[in-house]
Structure 1
């Protein structure tokens, strides 16, 4: 399945298309960016493979998908330290370098799809932890990820497999 996210310049919300269905989505506060950098608040303009799914089994049921899936634990994290040899990869806590915890109080990572952004090789400062995850209320900005509601995520993942991609595209308003 080919997913497509369209957003206008500097907008932190967009529309995700999956087949004939369209879903609102949240992006980073800088919107879509062509030259992604660590911490810039931008969502990269790119075509990215959907690699695997993490989910919180203590809160929700596993989503129906043909992607590889793993229940996360309180020890799961993602390295976001450009100086670490583990930059932009999953790690286990405790971990001495900068990282983002995957086990959060809020529900945004209750379902989290790993996207193939800057994974292999991971280039320092080109952005890390770019995920497709659950949106906050009112689709407030992410840190650079793409986010949708849980019900929309479940509908999308049900038609995704290891060949699925997500493409982000800037569009111009027809105003």
Structure 2
């Protein structure tokens, strides 16, 4: 896959994520890059993924972009492939498998949402691929892409309508 890209695209490369002429170091899924993403494989999926939203913790940081939505207490993300809410934001109480968005750690202080397997999720194709803060350099994610906090803030402030995340299959080992 060698799609036509623009400077406003987020392009994953071996050097990091290229965006608006800069390279940002990042972490990817601990399962590597995959052209056959599955729930729980820890892989970052190949493809051209639209940016469809941004969430942030208003009790911790300033609004990173005018279109960002606050993460409230009780906000969750369904990762239960057997439930109709699979790969959607839901509210507590929620008895099915989910991920807490309002975390005690700062990992999700900013969450940029992609359209991976969304809005009509396919069974076991994997739940959300987020762009979020990394735990530390070279520490793999569950499939998301992680960044240094200052880089994530810079990226979040500069994303525009039509920005895409591009993960080329040339990165598969």
So what's the TM-score if we normalise by structure 1? 0.89
CA RMSD, Structure 1 to Structure 2 (Å): 1.4
Is the CA contact 2:57–2:108 (under 8 Å) kept in the aligned structure 1? yes
Is the CA contact 1:55–1:70 (under 8 Å) kept in the aligned structure 2? yes
1:171 shift after superposition: 4.2
Is the CA contact 2:44–2:143 (under 8 Å) kept in the aligned structure 1? yes
| Paired residue secondary structure (2:158) | coil
| Paired residue secondary structure (2:150) | helix
1:146 shift after superposition: 0.6
Is the CA contact 2:129–2:143 (under 8 Å) kept in the aligned structure 1? yes
Q: Distance in 1 between matches of 2:122 and 2:97?
A: 16
| Paired residue secondary structure (1:74) | coil
Match of 1:162 in 2: 161
Q: Distance in 2 between matches of 1:161 and 1:138?
A: 26
Q: Distance in 1 between matches of 2:102 and 2:154?
A: 23
1:162 shift after superposition: 2.3
User: Could you report, residue by residue, the CA deviation over 1:117-141 in whole angstroms, capped at 9, with x for unpaired residues?
Assistant: 0003210100002111111123411
Q: Distance in 1 between matches of 2:157 and 2:56?
A: 14
Q: Which runs of 5+ in 1 are unaligned?
A: 8-13
The yes-or-no answer on 1:118 pairing with 2:117 is yes
Q: Which runs of 5+ in 2 are unaligned?
A: 1-7
Q: 5 Å matches for 1:83-94?
A: 83-94=82-93
| Paired residue secondary structure (1:4) | strand
- Report runs of 4+ in structure 1 exceeding 6 Å deviation: none
Q: State how many pairs are aligned.
A: 164
